[in-house]
Amino acid sequence: MATAQTKETTYIGVSKPRVDVREKVTGAAVYTDDIQFGAALLHARVKRSPHPHALIKKVDISKAKELPGVRVVVTGQDFPYFTGLYLKDRNIFARDRVRFVGEAVAGVAAITEEIAEQALDLIEVEYEVLPGVFDAVKGAEPGAPLLHPNLGDYEVPNFIFPVPDSNIANHFKVRKGDVETAFAEAATVVEHTFKVPHVQHVPIEPHIAIAQVDGDGNVTLWASSQSPFAQRNLIAKSLNIPESKVRVIAPLIGGGFGCKAGVTMETIPVAIAMKAGGHPVKFRLTREEEFYTNFVRQGLTAKVKVACDKNGKLTAIQNQMWWDGGGYTDYGVNITRAGGYSGTGPFNAPNIWVDSMCIYTNHPVGGAYRGFGMSEVHTGIVQVMSMLAEKAGVDFVDFLKMNVIQEGEKVLTGMTMHKTGIKDCIEKVAKEINWGVKDAPTAPNRKRGKGIAVMWKAPAMPPNAGSSALIKLNEDASVTVMVGGQEIGQGTFTAMAQIAAEAMGVPFESVKVKGPIDTQYSPYEWQTVASRLTWSMGNAVRNAAMDARHKILEVVAEAWGEDIENLDIKEGYVISYASEESISLKDIVVYGIPREGYNGWVGGPIVGSGSFMPSYVTGLDKETGQGDRAVVHYTTGAQAVDLEVDLDTGQLYIHRAVSAFDVGKAINPDLVRCQIEGGFVQGMSSAIFEEMRLVEGVMQNPSFVDYRIATTMDVPAKIDAYIVEAAQDDGPWGARGVGEHPMVPTIPCLANAIYDAIGVRVPNPPLSAEKVYLTMLDNGVVK
């Protein structure tokens, strides 16, 4: 085989061969980073804790440093700073103790990944094993082993409420009315405790990042990231360097679902690169590491009690939630907050009591996951409402329409509810599923049932999370849109192009949204989370487009001597309603327009800028959770399924799924339907198959062999998606987000349908065939 032609070139102080890519790909697997960085690239691996909770007595790295090919070895002693998005409770590498299996204790960078792995075996760590906390409810009790004795000293924003000298990292409360009296006087009361397990995001692309630090201390990070600007901020603070010296570049990513929000593993290659003398450092999580060393969806135990009067009208809701936050809760505390201010689900009652507590445990670290806690919250609250309706003798659809929140009513935190189409959503899915009609099963060994569920979700974010956008026009009248929000498969770049085209009056085909996101050049965006980009970044893009449009019209008005109010832009042409003149945007948006007789010029390159930040979100009282406006808005919806249960195996056969969501205004209806369909499938996967099996803090199923996710074979033959539009007052053309919401009601929807089919409730996911069958066996449904 012919060898590649090479020549020597200097690269960051080392000699690297430059290889012709076309010839190199004929050999071993070639990665883009190998081509970009060449032989200078170092590969990082991490020494991880085998214990869920232990003191670190000694870390000896001397043997690892002597291994040929090893360039850098670091420990927690090299980086004493704390980091975290909402609660600064963790170091880059553990310093005094480890708090979950897989926590990073030391890092190695070597010329190959294999050598780095060998070096890990040479690092000697002496531990003193401590008692662990493996149950959130028990962890919240007085006397439980304290995992963070210094909790009271951690830095937190003013809307997170840790309880010092406990494992309660955040305690969000809502107190409204008198629940005790309401329960005592109610016609019907139902109470039940629900448990939702940890699950993994399992993106097809695992976490990967490459960091490089130059001689002036400037950091460049290439990362698979939903949050490049948040990463820039957090990495700078965790390493005590200015934000201006940190640059994050985030190409398109292969799935996120929340696990690539905030900062998780990305600080590790940056920290190592700071000691690497200019070498770029690559760190890639293996699939096993992806399962339990990075963000997971938190587990939840929820004790829900509800009451109604003789007509089925809700009188009281009590929801006590213990969130299993894991060893660190820097992101998880805000999930707890979101669970608290949404703790009633989309239901209205005069008397409400909510406790939402984020508990430190010795489980993997909980973080953002599609739905941000709402799937977990709705698992209990919607099922218990179904139980209450049945006990009160009220049809569940009638019960829902009677008790869901409506425009003008006060939500649990005291905020006045905006316009919502939730009743339309309920009616749509109930009609489509033929609610109230008991259909015959398709086989004698099956039972058939229907279920319905409702949901709401607000963007969970700080009160001042902002967006910005830039719009540049080119000589050929094409439009370049620059944003800081990430494209993660949800179609946000398409939606932003549509918004820009509509606001400017140019053809959609002429608009391009440019990537990758680069904090050095892209305009600021808080994070690509919370289903907020269509609303927040969409407003920024619209404002930037309107700014560019106004500048163009000003130029033409001056050149033509016309009133700007008589001018418009249609299909890339400026037209005058007064003189009926028109002119193409080509050239004039860069070169301007000559004055009469070419006596000077008007205009010049057109660049539009726009930003958006909600200014009206208020703080909430620490003890009551009451305030004028807790959130920017709620997206609401409903879902229904028609399924069968196999009496011989417990397997579920979903014939049809129907979803309807109020999106305010669908900027791109096809993309909205895709989100609704995909959300149901992911919700179904987490409802039926997914569970991180944790024993004493150790995950028993960290691979796709034992961790089951839905495939195309599991998808129902018919999934229907319906769009309801009750316009949001501050959204672009009334739009609000719908990216996460379609998977929120799926667990209770399926659980309600199973109950309707077999007459026995299987309340806690996963609703696996084994669990369904054993429940039927235990309750005499089958023998």
Question: Which of 552, 548, 536, 551 lies closest to 495 in space, CA to CA?
Answer: 536
Q: How many angstroms separate the CA atoms of 198 and 298, rounded?
A: 5
Instruction: Give φ, ψ of 332 to 5 degrees.
Output: -60, -25
Identify the residue whose tokens are 């000293």.
153
Q: How many angstroms separate the CA atoms of 167 and 237, rounded?
A: 25
Query: For the chain, what is the mean pLDDT?
Result: 95
Predicted pLDDT at 35: 72
DSSP sequence for 127-165 = EEE------HHHHTSTTSPPS-TTGGGSB--TT----TT
Identity at 645, one-letter amino acid code: V
Predicted pLDDT at 33: 64
What confidence tens digit (pLDDT) does each residue in 132-149 have?
A: 999 999 999 999 999 999
pLDDT at 15 over 70: no
pLDDT class for 32, splitting at 50, 70, 90? low
pLDDT at 18 over 60: no
Identify the residue whose tokens are 């309807």.
660
4 vs 664, more confident: 664
pLDDT at 633 over 90: yes
Percent of the chain with pLDDT over 90: 95
Burial (CB < 10 A; 0-12, 13-18, 19+), residue 627, is middle
Question: Which of 277, 100, 37 lies closest to 694 in space, CA to CA?
Answer: 100
pTM of the prediction? 0.95
pLDDT at 29 over 60: no
| Range 490-511 burial, b when 16+ CB lie within 10 A, else e | bbbbbbbbbbbbbbbbbeeebb
Predicted pLDDT at 6: 33
What confidence tens digit (pLDDT) does each residue in 179-210 have?
A: 999 999 999 999 999 999 999 999 999 999 99
Predicted pLDDT at 12: 33
Question: Which of 610, 274, 366, 655 lies closest to 466 in space, CA to CA?
Answer: 610
Question: Which of 449, 359, 294 lies closest to 134 in space, CA to CA?
Answer: 359
Predicted pLDDT at 21: 31
Beta strands in 309-411 (DSSP E): 314-326, 351-360
pLDDT at 299 over 60: yes
> Within 572-632, where are the H helices?
588-591
> Do 639 and 749 form a contact (C-beta atoms < 8 A)?
yes
Predicted pLDDT at 27: 34
Structure tokens at 230: 């948040």
Task: Tell how strand 314-326 and strand 582-584 pair up.
Answer: unpaired
User: Annotated active-site positions, please?
Assistant: 740
Structure tokens at 773: 């069958």
Q: How many angstroms separate the CA atoms of 726 and 451, rounded?
A: 25
Range name among 10-19, 205-214, 245-254 with the lowest pLDDT average: 10-19
Instruction: Give the three-state DSSP class for 40.
Output: helix
pLDDT at 577 over 50: yes
Q: Domains of the chain (ranges plus CATH)? A: 21-30+465-612 (3.30.365.10), 32-130+207-284 (3.90.1170.50), 299-461+619-778 (3.30.365.10)
Region of 645 (left: φ > 0; alpha: ψ -120 to 50; beta: rest) is: beta
Cis peptide before 766 (omega within 30 of 0): yes
Please give the average per-residue pLDDT across 634-659, as a whole number: 98
pLDDT class for 13, splitting at 50, 70, 90? very low
pLDDT at 5 over 50: no
Please give the average per-residue pLDDT across 458-485, as a whole number: 98
Give the Cα-Cα-Cα angle 255, 261, 265 (nearest 5 degrees).
95
Please give the average per-residue pLDDT across 216-240, as a whole number: 97
pLDDT class for 36, splitting at 50, 70, 90? confident
Q: How many angstroms separate the CA atoms of 681 and 372, rounded?
A: 17
pLDDT class for 14, splitting at 50, 70, 90? very low
Number of H helices, E strands in the chain: 19, 35
